[in-house]
Amino acid sequence: EPSPHLAAPKNVEVYSYNFHSLLRWSPGGTDSVLYTVHYRTGAFPVWNEMNCTRIPQTECEFPLEIGKRRWTIFLRVRAEQGQDCSDWVQTPPFVAERDTTLGPPKVNRVSASSDSLLLSVSPPFTPEPRDSFQYRVFYWENSTSTTRKEQEAHRTLLQIEKLKESTLYCFSLQVEFEGVFGNLLGQESAPKCHRTAIS
- Rounded to two decimals, the pTM is 0.89
Q: Give domain 106-195's CATH architecture.
A: Sandwich (2.60)
Query: What pLDDT band is residue 36 in, cutting at 50, 70 and 90?
Result: very high
In this prediction, residues 150-170 reach a mean pLDDT of 95
Query: CA of 117: how far to CAs of 114, 121, 190, in Å?
Result: 8, 13, 17
Query: What pLDDT band is residue 141 in, cutting at 50, 70 and 90?
Result: very high
Res 153 pLDDT > 80: yes
In this prediction, residues 39-63 reach a mean pLDDT of 94
Q: How many helices (H) and strands (E) does the chain have?
A: 1, 16
Query: CA of 116: how far to CAs of 10, 148, 155, 160, 177, in Å?
Result: 52, 16, 17, 5, 26
Tell whether domain 10-95 is in CATH 3.30.2320.50: no
- φ and ψ at residue 182, rounded to 5 degrees: 110, -175
In this prediction, residues 84-88 reach a mean pLDDT of 95
Percent above pLDDT 70 for the chain: 100
Query: What pLDDT band is residue 54 in, cutting at 50, 70 and 90?
Result: very high
Percent above pLDDT 90 for the chain: 83
Are 159 and 109 within 8 A, CB to CB?
no
Query: What pLDDT band is residue 46 in, cutting at 50, 70 and 90?
Result: very high
CA angle 35, 61, 173 (to 5 degrees): 140
Question: Which ranges in the chain are annotated with CATH 2.60.40.10?
Answer: 10-95, 106-195
Q: In the prediction, which pLDDT does 34 show? A: 96
